[in-house]
Structure 1
């Protein structure tokens, strides 16, 4: 016969059972047993019961238990405060703290850290400051856990001087990973990445090891602030700790930092060194290639992603569609869209915008317009995409109509809306309209803060129209806090080239060299201007200066999608393509036919003073000409020839392709880095104004 259990044994058994509970279903029967066996008045068991409910995430069940305690002691209050904190019920934490004080109990060093954590998460710096006073009065200010809580509170709330003072008082022995992470995170959130990096170096110096949270925050901050040097240093530390292979979270943040800093080769090295990659890692690489002007690599990696059976999400599709848009790979992009649920595209504004942007940049404006009119959720980004797309295609008045729709539906225009409208005015030469939109949108009605992009658009608009003095005045009158950048000065230089103002161009180039000493495009523009006015010696000196500075001219690249969905790339003078012999033969035949129609190559775009025959050969092998001829040979007669180019179309290629469209009866659409040119029957949609 079994001996009856003693009260002590029963109590111990109940405590053991409560410790094994994993969910509410486990706790409830034991709670009932506690009541039946008369242990509801046992402080220790009730405290253990409260902890069990909190540990299973059932914090709501604790209120009635706590209220049934006749005289709750400090341990009960601390259990409730700690439990609510662990369950992220921070308002309940502060509420119970106030109730405890009203009940006449004074907190101890166990209470303060949890209440301070709640104040930190709620950003309740007023209550936190009052608690700080209580900490000092009660003599717990030397407690490292309490002090860590105060450092976290002040750092998170932006009171960095108070946080730093407390942190400095702690001394090296009292600090821990939490306090260091708090102060480093505080500097990051205040935008002081440099100080955060200094603190992080000190953190490592004393032998502490950071968790993945602080590493990711530092990498993200460096990426956001464009601090490649700081980010690269953190990445080297991460690699030295072998975190690339073992921590997908940190490795993905490293890939993201390099991608956003434009270092795709380093991003790829990290990516290739990862053992485990999730969909976020793949998405980051695809988006990185796409946003850094490497669309072929983006599509190639997307193909690898599909082979690895990684399902793309919304952001993957946005990156891939962006790559298709840059390459003009309309057929490939459409094949991806057909695989997805059309309803999802139409109801997701991010995807819908990416699809419409792809159609616009692949030269299929009618399809983009159709989709725009059936998208279910429209935001200002979608409207801006359509305004900019119409502007690039020379449909300025339609851009204005879209802006009228924005006003009609009550969506507030953004700074990018103004950029799109000013671009529309610039491409169409509508100076008065541009001035009006600029004044209206930054005026009292809309109060859009003018940005550097807006001034750049105005300078471009006025420069193209030949109003160079007014364009220069716009630059000199820019607010002090907005210094003119290379885009603004570059727009003025382009206006100088169009209107052959060499004196102003030389002045502008000095400004550009100071800002972008390695940018070949600035030298090329001025060199073209020199040669166009016969100043060959000055052009030669400029080229010699480029050579001494080791500045290489950016090669022209053109892309065309064949009828098999494959994208073909051409460079100036390219002889590597399998169809090269046929392309150059056809190019020669077309040249003979065009000369009979009066075509004379525009050789002023050639940079040096060489024989005219050599100049003609140079302009005759530009990448867009090779791509156009390939399209004539490869694509069916009824297909539009669509080409994307990384530089502006030169004047000779523009004249050449206009005649090609007349001779062959083919429609040719070229998107350069500035706008669209739709050639049809000898005319271009830009009306020769670009």
Structure 2
């Protein structure tokens, strides 16, 4: 610049710091900073932020905090942009103690807006699976900020990951009804993942319909399970789909009966049962709340196994062929399920779902 006859005044030096912040050029940034210090007048607030960004690029979050404190000392206070930047840096470094301290300081400063700081903090909690802390941060955010879609999506994601699907559904529905917040591709993929993971295929289908209507992309990791859902509810049930269902949501009792778990409404389960019967798969159903077990009993279980065995993974065949075997908690869940009372044996498909209200 000197060779071109350009004076390195305050504005030029700030521009140099901005360029250094993109590249992480510490040496050139410090040269420009020292030059700024030698110029009479107040230091530009943005220069501190750019300098923090330079050291954040090279992973020195404590140096960033040092620059933030220097800003407070030299100027009397930090700016909102500086608070946002230091929160971003500390949360990316997962320095939870310092991040929480700075967020509390930010809140007490009375400065606005606080939203971006809460977003950084909650994203850190989400990454660390600290769902109780995230919930508390979300509550604090609601006390001081107008919620937006980004912050609600983080909270929704936390609810799904922590297994609180009822609250997740309530939150999603609230977002959907709120014209200011609304839902987007991420919102729908989060709740879709929750429904699929919990086996609530009927609700998953409704979200799928919504996403098709809105032309939202579905995450590739969900497509396999989703195709299984649609096969269950919309088309003739195919043998590979039944095999997948048995491997990941089934249980074989000590008496060799086969039980398949399904979550949803009574009407939705009846639809699945009718589809199974259309494939000559006779079954009976027991349900409690929104959880149902479809039972293939006696010779029907033998017929079911013959249909699905070719599609069962080789490593699982012996395991699933044996009696009283299942994945996860299915064995515990089915301990009180009994199909021996005969109360529903001769009823038509639309009437023989036996609901256990105990």
TM bucket (normalised to shorter chain) is 0.5 to 0.7
The answer to whether the 8 A contact 1:258-1:266 is kept is yes
Q: Is 1:331 aligned with 2:231?
A: yes
Counterpart in 2 of 1:282?
188
In the alignment, structure 1 residue 196 sits paired with structure 2 residue 60: no
Alpha-carbon separation, structure 1, partners of 2:210 and 2:120: 32
Q: CA offset at residue 146 of structure 1?
A: 2.1
Matched, 1:168 2:75: no
Larger Rg over CA atoms:
1
1:295 and 1:323 in contact (8 A); partners too: no
Q: Take 2:168 and 2:21, find their aligned partners in 1: how far apart are those partners?
A: 35
**C-alpha separation in 2, matches of 1:120 and 1:197:** 25
- 1:559 paired residue number: 261
Q: 2:195·2:203 contact (CA, 8 Å) conserved in 1?
A: no
Distance 1:240 1:184 in 2: 19
The aligned counterpart of 1:265 is 166
Q: Describe the SS at the equivalent of 1:627.
A: strand
Partner deviation per Cα, 1:414-439 (whole Å, 9 max, x = no partner):
xxxxxxxxxxxxxxxxxxxxxxxxxx
The structure 2 residue matched to 1:236, chosen from 126, 135, 139, is: 139
- Equivalences for residues 23-42 of structure 1 within 5 A: none
Question: CA shift at 1:559, angstroms?
Answer: 1.7
The answer to whether the Cα contact below 8 Å between 1:140 and 1:146 also exists between their aligned partners in 2 is: no
- The alpha carbon displacement at 1:179 in A equals 0.6
The reply to whether residue 157 of structure 1 matches residue 58 of structure 2 is yes
Higher relative contact order (CA 8 A, sep 6+): 2
Structure 1 distance, partners of 2:126, 2:81, is 24
Aligned counterpart, 1:69: none
Q: Residues of 2 paired with 1:111 and 1:322: CA distance?
A: 56
Could you tell me which runs of 5 or more consecutive residues in structure 2 were left unpaired when the two chains were aligned: 249-258, 263-271, 278-284, 330-358
SS at match of 2:261: strand
Which sits farther off after the overlay, 305-314 or 267-276? 305-314
Decide which of 126, 130, 138 is 2:31's aligned counterpart: 130
2:327 to 672, 684, 689: 672
- Segments of 5+ residues of structure 1 without an aligned counterpart are 1-99, 339-355, 365-388, 390-556, 567-573, 578-622, 658-669, 675-690
Paired residues in the alignment total: 287
Displacement after TM superposition at 1:282 (Å):
0.9
CA drift at 1:173: 4.4
Greater displacement, 274-283 / 160-169:
160-169
Structure 1 residues 575 and 263, CA gap change in structure 2 (3 angstroms): closer
| Partner of residue 115, structure 1 | 16
Separation of aligned partners in 2, 1:330 and 1:671: 24
2:215 matched to which residue of 1?
Answer: 311
C-alpha distance in 2, partners of 1:359/1:153? 56
Matches within 5 A, 1:94-493: 100-139=1-40, 142-171=43-72, 173-210=76-113, 212-241=115-144, 243-244=146-147, 247-274=148-175, 275=178, 276-290=182-196, 293-296=197-200, 299-307=202-210, 309-315=213-219, 318-319=221-222, 321-322=224-225, 331-332=231-232, 361-362=244-245
Compute the displacement of 1:563 (Å).
Answer: 5.5
| Cα distance in 2, alignment partners of residues 204 and 150 from structure 1 | 24
* Alignment CA distance shift 1:144-1:107 (3 Å): same
Structure 2 vs 1, CA of residues 248 and 330 (structure 1 numbering), >3 Å: closer, same or farther?
A: closer
Check whether the contact 1:330–1:359 (CA below 8 A) recurs between aligned residues.
no
- Offset at 1:189? 1.8
CA deviation profile, 1:61-112 (whole Å, cap 9, x unmatched): xxxxxxxxxxxxxxxxxxxxxxxxxxxxxxxxxxxxxxx2332433233233
| Partner deviation per Cα, 1:343-388 (whole Å, 9 max, x = no partner) | xxxxxxxxxxxxx9x7974469xxxxxxxxxxxxxxxxxxxxxxxx
Structure with the larger helix share: 1
Deviation at 1:200, TM superposition (A): 1.2
- State how far apart, in whole Å, the 1-side matches of 2:203 and 2:118 are: 30
Contact 2:87–2:99 (8 Å) recurs in 1: yes
